[in-house]
Amino acid sequence: MIDLNKLPPLIPRKVLFGEPEKFYPQVSPDGKVLSYLAPHNGVRNIWIKTLGKDDDRPITDEKKRGIRFYFWSYDNETILYIQDSDGDENWHLYGVNIKTGLVRDYTPFKGIKMAEYIAMEPNFPDTILIPLNLRDRSLFDLYSLNLKTGAIKLTEKNPGDVTGLLIPGGWLIDHNLKVRACTSIKEDGSVELRIKKGKKWKTFIVWSIEDSFSSPIGFTPDNEKLYIADSRDSDTSYLAEIDLKTGEKNILVHDPEYDVTYISYHLFHPRTKKLQAIGYLKEYQEWKVLDKEIEKDLEFLKNFHRGNLDILSRDLEDKIWVISYDCDNEPLKYYLYERDKKKVDFLFSARPELEKYKLSETKPFKIKARDGLTLHGYITFPVGVEPKNLPMVVFPHGGPWYRDIWGYNGEVQWLSNRGYVVLQVNFRGSVGYGKNFVNAGDKEWGGKMHDDVIDVVNWAIKEGIVDPKKIAIYGGSYGGYEALVGATFTPDVFCCAISECGVSNLITFINSIPPYWKPMRSLFTKRIGDPEKEEEFLKSRSPLFKVDNLKIPLLIAHGANDPRVKKEESEQIVESARKKGIDVEYILFPDEGHGLVNPENRLKFVEIAEKFLAKHLGGRFEE
- Give 12-64 as a DSSP string: PHHHHHS--SSEEEEE-TTSSEEEEEEEETTEEEEEEEETTS---EE----SS
pLDDT tens track for 132-174: 999 999 899 999 999 999 999 999 999 888 876 544 458 999 9
Q: What fold does the segment set 357-617 form as a domain? A: Rossmann fold (3.40.50)
pLDDT tens track for 450-468: 999 999 999 999 999 999 9
CA 313/CA 332 separation, integer angstroms: 16
- Give CA torsion, residues 163, 164, 166, 171, to 10 deg: 100
SS3 89: coil
Q: Is the pLDDT score of 352 beyond 90?
A: yes
The model's confidence at residue 356, banded by pLDDT at 50, 70 and 90, is very high
pLDDT tens track for 531-543: 999 999 999 999 9
Confidence (pLDDT) at 166? 43
- Average pLDDT of the chain is 95
Q: Which of 584, 595, 555, 520 is nearest to 191 (CA)?
A: 520
Q: Is the pLDDT score of 600 beyond 50?
A: yes
Confidence (pLDDT) at 520? 81
pLDDT tens track for 308-334: 999 999 999 999 999 999 999 999 999
**pTM score, whole prediction:** 0.96
Segments making up each domain of the chain, as ranges = 23-354, 357-617
Q: Is the pLDDT score of 88 beyond 70?
A: yes
Q: Look up the CATH number of domain 23-354.
A: 2.130.10.120
464: left (phi over 0), alpha (psi -120 to 50) or beta: left
| Sign of the alpha-carbon dihedral angle for 605, 611, 615, 617 | positive
Confidence (pLDDT) at 490? 97
The model's confidence at residue 299, banded by pLDDT at 50, 70 and 90, is very high
Strands 200-207 and 215-219: unpaired
Cβ atoms 515, 165 nearer than 8 A: no
- The single-letter code of the amino acid at 498 is I
CA 292/CA 497 separation, integer angstroms: 50
Confidence (pLDDT) at 473? 98
User: In which element (H, E) is residue 558 found?
Assistant: strand 554-559
**Residues labelled catalytic:** 477, 562, 594
Confidence (pLDDT) at 167? 40
**In what order do the strands lie in the sheet containing 275-281?**
265-268, 275-281, 285-289
Q: Is the pLDDT score of 177 beyond 70?
A: yes
